[in-house]
Structure 1
């Protein structure tokens, strides 16, 4: 299968370069000293940060590839797995806020889009609802339209499922300048956990340690656990594989059959010692996923940062990838997004858009290049794909060229997904009527316009050959569509303006 081959290739490359892999209510919390964070945002979207988390080395990203236009009379099926990661956006935001354009290969358009809220109503009964709309493209003339496909996951009604979380903290030498932000981020998460949840803490550098075995928060006070984390100091090499093996074993000791069992890896992804082969590591991660233990990654730092490795580890572990560029972002992730991070409501979510060749001449999926699935694997129940958490929203944009004078439907969105503990795909189909995509751009919803601006911004940064738009054009669209009550929107508008000054 395509997805298996992609993961195997990732592990091979990871080793070839010497990187051996061996929404909740907020409460008052003690999160340490905010001035130690790597950067923070003001209410107006302004950013104050430093480059103090830089460590010399080579940043690593996946291959820079672009989805091409496809003629529907040659192939009218577009198939991919969903993605709710956002690490690419927050990594790029950090670069821009410190006066640099992010490397094109670091920009994954879907992660820029999916960082922001959408206007999709939550479903009533199903795990998620599917929405389609569109409008004429403001960027490519009258020839093209933008099609938006949105998935909105239901919110958790009964948030009583217990959590068994293992913090795996990289305390190698390269983490020295990043460790304060790691600690403060985890303090926030500890404060958001509930009594009865299990927490364990492991570290790795040249060797591995278990700082805290699985412990119920009703048996140990939060401040003492924060103190254990606060005492950590960085130094030494990076035995990531051994650290992962130990973390899985520790999490298994506290395994909750009806709970969330999750490892959270806090690292810059830079690994340099360890005896385990990539085949063994792949089997290790896969075996624990099958047991019900998932893995998410939280990225920190720059200079030697391995974005590709951190993203792919989360993919293999059936978790999510996030990049923490500030204490503000940590607070958002572990308060606003926390339930969605932890509570998976559907897994192996695959999308196949079947375009009607009589209505659509050609199409281009914007982003999701490394989530592609072979069309023939869509109905294969063993095909691995993305997970979606409670309250998560997922958006995909297509550029399409419509056939003039035809009134037929544009196509159909086919979805297949499994229940969190299920093994059988559940199908869901939604028709895309032509009238849903033919509005003028200024008649589309403000959220649609804002999303189009975000996507175009990311396309410019990644130097897409299909884009010849100026940042100033993006600024005008975003400024018109921004929601003044949404701090993420306000920050993004300021980010576009900062980019214009760099460019």
Structure 2
């Protein structure tokens, strides 16, 4: 992918340059390969006296989205071969044609491996994009300097590119309800610093805010909306895909036991917050645990493990209703900062306690409170998860506390791969927002392995780009492979994905145009009954709003939050004037959400970032 820094060119011009350069680069590589092959043939002729017949070698190539392609024993190297690809997904029979495309995709599951592994990292990093092309002739655009504290561990998952719909009409990803990236960024900005690029994940910015979706009883709802965006080309559309979990679920999974694993290493004695809200990290944990215990059902059993150099049991599982005050006092007395950070030992000890509870038929949730900086014992996500093993009746969610040092990658991946969610608390208000009041939506699971597949109509959509979800990519062929891990969604939670769409005919956004733009399918497992469920929704061109101002206010809020993240991570698809437009749109959305502290804070943070730039 070409990653030219051209601040005065429009997005469409950039996109054309990008594709032309990519094509030229491909031709150069092919020419080099052919030359090398000719040389090899000549060498063989000299060695053997006569030439051997040419051998055709077929290479299975990844799509432009970075997604792996299945290879059959014949000649197919795409998710759909040319003879299987439907000629049209538009017109009067659009929905039936899309259904046929889904059926084709389902038939290809036989080509999927049985490893059940997660496909992640669909985006292209700056290092990869810059290494793949020659330096541009003009002076490169220098982004604002970012604070990057060495002890903080963030991962660059890249930025999703545009995908030509004729090449690949399928977009598949695991749902993500994490919100940590937004609060981590807020911590940086409140400290007067721009965040590192790698700390910014678009979907977590969007998910921090209420999507405004209607919910149904015992069923998920899918909302699909589209409108032009002030942050994209005027002829493009922004598509919002929203998934809302029900607040009343017949077979939700509520934990009978909660095991708290608390970081008591020396780094937890460091200060966090600013002004009147400044406190030690461990004090924020005390406050968060107190709020959690107050919100749990009195019959819930709670156990506590603390770790520093080694792990130790602070309290064995007991019903919280009759032990709340005693448990809070014991934690404040016995969990004191000091020593190294042996996360692995803490989690292994916590999981042993959880396994003891699960052996009695109880569903267990393990909650890890930590800054994630593992410096003793197993320090990598894979090694720690191997030590824990996989248990369907034990979930793990993580809550990050503090920065500098902070291991974002460890906390996020532990939660993603252990059927949980990842959040970050940077002050007492955020602790109350996450854990205060009814915490059913935090601890109770409504869906496991939730995946979304969007099928775009090549007759109406020329190209699409998933904004965010770079580390939640799932191979298209694995949409119905239930061995592949995906996302967990709690009762009442929602998740939002945004796409930028380039239309085949920009004038097709007519009220009379009934051609399909896309079909969205949600697939998940109901945790208690283990029943697999699918739901779908379709959007047509005439369903799109005529302007951004006509769109629902929650749609516009999601667009502002996503563009803010795009600017902060210096996305290739952001223009240099975006911050000015963004600030104006944020103020307008804040007026529409008058009385919402969260939305007002978003506008304040955008203004702060604009001044820091």
Q: Let me know the Cα RMSD of the aligned residues.
A: 2.4
Aligned length: 454
Is 1:184 the counterpart of 2:296? The answer is: no
Structure 1 residues 113-153: Cα deviation after superposition (integer angstroms, max 9, x where no partner): 00001221111341x10001110121223221100011111
> For the Cα contact (< 8 Å) 2:447–2:527, is it kept in 1?
yes
Structure with greater strand share of residues: 1
Aligned to 1:228: 330
Aligned to 2:578: 470
1:115 and 1:134, CA in 2 relative to 1: closer, same or farther beyond 3 A? same
Which stretch shows the higher mean deviation, 141-150 or 251-260?
Answer: 251-260
Q: What aligned pairs does 1:69-468 form with structure 2 within 5 A after superposition?
A: 69-126=162-219, 128-156=220-248, 161=254, 163-177=256-270, 178-220=281-323, 222-231=324-333, 232-255=335-358, 260-274=363-377, 281-288=384-391, 290=392, 292-335=393-436, 338-404=439-505, 406=508, 407=513, 408-423=515-530, 425-468=532-575
Any idea what SS the aligned residue of 1:238 has?
Answer: coil
> For the Cα contact (< 8 Å) 1:260–1:342, is it kept in 2?
no
Aligned to 2:607: 497
| Cα distance in 2 for residues equivalent to 1:453 and 1:501 | 17
| Cα distance in 1 for residues equivalent to 2:186 and 2:116 | 29
| Cα distance in 2 for residues equivalent to 1:258 and 1:324 | 32
CA displacement at 1:259 relative to structure 2 = 5.5
1:286 and 1:327, CA in 2 relative to 1: closer, same or farther beyond 3 A? same
Q: Where does the alignment leave 5 or more consecutive residues of structure 2 unmatched?
A: 1-112, 122-148, 271-280
**Given the two structures, how large is their TM-score scaled by the length of structure 2?**
0.70
| Cα distance in 2 for residues equivalent to 1:346 and 1:388 | 5
Any idea what SS the aligned residue of 1:194 has?
Answer: coil
Any idea what SS the aligned residue of 2:317 has?
Answer: strand
CA displacement at 1:256 relative to structure 2 = 8.2
Any idea what SS the aligned residue of 2:516 has?
Answer: coil
Any idea what SS the aligned residue of 2:358 has?
Answer: coil
Q: Which has the higher contact order (CA 8 A, sep 6+)?
A: 1
Any idea what SS the aligned residue of 2:160 has?
Answer: coil
CA displacement at 1:273 relative to structure 2 = 1.4
> For the Cα contact (< 8 Å) 2:258–2:303, is it kept in 1?
yes
Is 1:65 the counterpart of 2:65? The answer is: no
Structure 1 residues 385-431: Cα deviation after superposition (integer angstroms, max 9, x where no partner): 00111110111100001121553110210121111145553221211
CA displacement at 1:274 relative to structure 2 = 1.4
| Cα distance in 1 for residues equivalent to 2:343 and 2:231 | 44
Larger radius of gyration: 2
Any idea what SS the aligned residue of 2:117 has?
Answer: helix
> For the Cα contact (< 8 Å) 1:200–1:215, is it kept in 2?
yes
1:183 and 1:57, CA in 2 relative to 1: closer, same or farther beyond 3 A? farther
1:58 and 1:277, CA in 2 relative to 1: closer, same or farther beyond 3 A? closer
| Cα distance in 2 for residues equivalent to 1:403 and 1:145 | 11
1:251 and 1:491, CA in 2 relative to 1: closer, same or farther beyond 3 A? same
1:280 and 1:136, CA in 2 relative to 1: closer, same or farther beyond 3 A? closer
CA displacement at 1:447 relative to structure 2 = 1.4
CA displacement at 1:282 relative to structure 2 = 2.9
> For the Cα contact (< 8 Å) 2:259–2:365, is it kept in 1?
yes
1:487 and 1:277, CA in 2 relative to 1: closer, same or farther beyond 3 A? closer
| Cα distance in 2 for residues equivalent to 1:324 and 1:260 | 26
Query: Which of these residues, 459, 473, 486, is aligned with residue 596 of structure 2?
Result: 486
| Cα distance in 2 for residues equivalent to 1:129 and 1:271 | 40
CA displacement at 1:83 relative to structure 2 = 0.1
> For the Cα contact (< 8 Å) 1:92–1:107, is it kept in 2?
yes
CA displacement at 1:380 relative to structure 2 = 0.9
> For the Cα contact (< 8 Å) 1:260–1:343, is it kept in 2?
no
1:445 and 1:5, CA in 2 relative to 1: closer, same or farther beyond 3 A? closer
**Given the two structures, how large is their TM-score scaled by the length of structure 1?**
0.85
CA displacement at 1:438 relative to structure 2 = 4.3
| Cα distance in 2 for residues equivalent to 1:475 and 1:87 | 23
1:259 and 1:432, CA in 2 relative to 1: closer, same or farther beyond 3 A? farther
| Cα distance in 1 for residues equivalent to 2:287 and 2:295 | 13
CA displacement at 1:103 relative to structure 2 = 0.6
Structure 1 segments of 4+ aligned residues over 4 angstroms from their partners: 5-8, 157-162, 256-260, 275-280
Any idea what SS the aligned residue of 1:281 has?
Answer: helix
Structure 1 residues 19-50: Cα deviation after superposition (integer angstroms, max 9, x where no partner): xxxxxxxxxxxxxxxxxxxxxxxxxxxxxxxx
Aligned to 1:30: none
| Cα distance in 1 for residues equivalent to 2:268 and 2:454 | 43
CA displacement at 1:268 relative to structure 2 = 0.7
Which stretch shows the higher mean deviation, 256-265 or 82-91?
Answer: 256-265
Structure 1 residues 229-260: Cα deviation after superposition (integer angstroms, max 9, x where no partner): 11221111111111111001112223387764
1:394 and 1:3, CA in 2 relative to 1: closer, same or farther beyond 3 A? farther
